[in-house]
Structure 1
Amino acid sequence: MTLQWTAVALFLYAEIAVNLILCIPFISARRWRSVFSWRIWNWLSPYWNKCFFTMIMVLIVLFLDAVREVHKYSGPEPMQDAKVNPNVYDNVHMKLFRAQRNLYISGFSLFLWLIMRRIVTLLNQLAVTVESSAGLQAQMDGAVKAAKRHQDDNLKLTKALLDEEKSMSVKKQQVKLEAEKLADQVKGAEEAVRKSHAEVEAMRRQAKGLAQEYDRLLSEHIQLQNLQSPADKKDQ
């Protein structure tokens, strides 16, 4: 294996290891996001896209070269030469095997390189989604608590209003009863006043009658005295 294909094979093994680590289930997306936020990745981020597309171009070139080698050693001309010379036959099949191996290595390296970038992007998006959903969940919990608190306040206010309405109705009933009692007392007082007025009027009339009777008796007494006075004078 030449140096370039050895490097591609090592790169493939590294990709397999990284993809397996990224797919570990008990490492959460938020943990990977914190790892991707390290300062070294921020320092390498300006060169990341260039490195990514450069590796794609290199792997595509190697993949096309492997395809060319496979097509070269699987064509009719090398097979005709291999049939003529047995040693050439083994050599052709060995080169065809190496070309196919290189095709698989470069193809899988290119495929896993794209998969690894996609996994990293999805992990970042999942972490952002989880953080956003956590924030939304916190806001929803706060809204639910506030709604529950407002509902409790409304229930308390409704209960207080009902109690106040009941107390007001009781007070109105008491005021109504007191008003009825006062009305009865006023009627009784008016009746007593009418009776007292009647008694006063009767006493006035009685006093007036007594005064008239007194005047009559007084006049009769005066007349009797006048009648008695001449008789007394004659006797003298």
Structure 2
Amino acid sequence: MSLVWTLIATFLYAEIAVVLLLVLPLGSPYKYNRFFKSKFLAMLAKQAHLYFFLIMGVLVLFLLEAIREMRKYSNHETTGEVHLNVEMQHSMRLFRAQRNFYISGFSIFLVLVIRRLVTLISAQANLLAQSEASMKQAQSATAAARSLMEDKKTDKAKEATEDTTLNECAKLKERVQELTTQLNREKKDKEALKSQADGLNREFDRLTEEYSKLQKKITIESAGIKDD
């Protein structure tokens, strides 16, 4: 394996490790979101789109190169006069082209998966923070409404302020209903994000299984070529 493809393979292994860290329940969304918003990553985020398109462009170029090599060696016609060493070299080059195709292809896929996971985790953390804030507002509004209702029962002599108290209670009840509706909506959004994350996990598991099968198949074919 050349130095370039060794670097791409190392990048692929790093992507797999990052995806596992993001998928496995090792930390809460708050910790991940705090890490994403750290000073170091904030400096990188200013040019994140540039880095993303640069990496994607390089990987796409190597993917196209691997496809070209695969087509080149797949269309090779063998004859009985070809020497065995030449045939083995041709098979080895085809195997390397296929290996490079899978490495670059899965690298591109995992770049997109990591970007989507980071977006979903950040959105989930923001929704959780908003839901907690809404819950605290609802609890404070409920406590204020209860205290106002108790003051109304204990202070019947103040008839002049009774209408104002009732209006304030009605407003507080409306505010509680609005906050409750907002909290339910945010819970639904959280469940939708969780279902999307579960779908991404299942898709990643399926692709990992396909990758393992393809790698085993390539290993078996390589072993068969060496035996021949």
Q: Runs ≥4 in structure 1, deviation > 4 angstroms?
A: 157-161
Residue in 2 that maps onto 1:3: 3
d(CA) in 2 for partners of 1:64, 1:96? 15
Residue in 2 that maps onto 1:66: 66
Question: Over residues 153-178 of structure 1, what are the superposed CA-to-partner deviations in whole Å (9 max), with x where a residue is unaligned?
Answer: 333346999xxxxxxxxxxxxxxxxx
Residue in 2 that maps onto 1:34: 34
**8 Å Cα contact 1:82/1:92 also seen in 2:** no
**8 Å Cα contact 1:81/1:88 also seen in 2:** no
Tell me by how many angstroms 1:118 deviates: 1.0
**Is the counterpart of residue 100 in structure 1 residue 71 in structure 2?**
no
**Is the counterpart of residue 43 in structure 1 residue 43 in structure 2?**
yes
Larger radius of gyration: 1
Residue in 1 that maps onto 2:141: 143
Matches within 5 A, 1:103-114: 103-114=101-112
Which of 156, 175, 185 is equivalent to 2:154? 156
Residue in 1 that maps onto 2:88: 90
SS of 1:147 mapped into structure 2: helix
Q: Which amino acid aligns with 2:38?
A: W
d(CA) in 2 for partners of 1:80, 1:64? 25
d(CA) in 2 for partners of 1:157, 1:110? 70
d(CA) in 1 for partners of 2:69, 2:91? 12
d(CA) in 2 for partners of 1:142, 1:119? 35
d(CA) in 2 for partners of 1:33, 1:112? 20
Q: Which amino acid aligns with 1:116?
A: I
**Which protein has the bigger helix share?**
1
Tell me by how many angstroms 1:69 deviates: 1.0
**TM-score, with length taken from structure 2:** 0.64
SS of 2:77 mapped into structure 1: helix
**TM-score, with length taken from structure 1:** 0.62
- The RMSD of aligned alpha carbons is 2.1
Tell me by how many angstroms 1:83 deviates: 7.2
**8 Å Cα contact 1:66/1:100 also seen in 2:** yes
Q: Which structure 1 residue ranges, 5 or more long, are not aligned?
A: 162-236
Identity %: 39
Residue in 2 that maps onto 1:119: 117
Residue in 2 that maps onto 1:183: none
Q: Which amino acid aligns with 2:53?
A: F
Residue in 1 that maps onto 2:187: none
Q: Aligned residue pairs: how many?
A: 159
Q: Which amino acid aligns with 2:87?
A: Y
d(CA) in 2 for partners of 1:159, 1:17? 70
Residue in 1 that maps onto 2:13: 13
Q: Which amino acid aligns with 1:140?
A: A
**8 Å Cα contact 1:82/1:89 also seen in 2:** no
Tell me by how many angstroms 1:152 deviates: 2.5
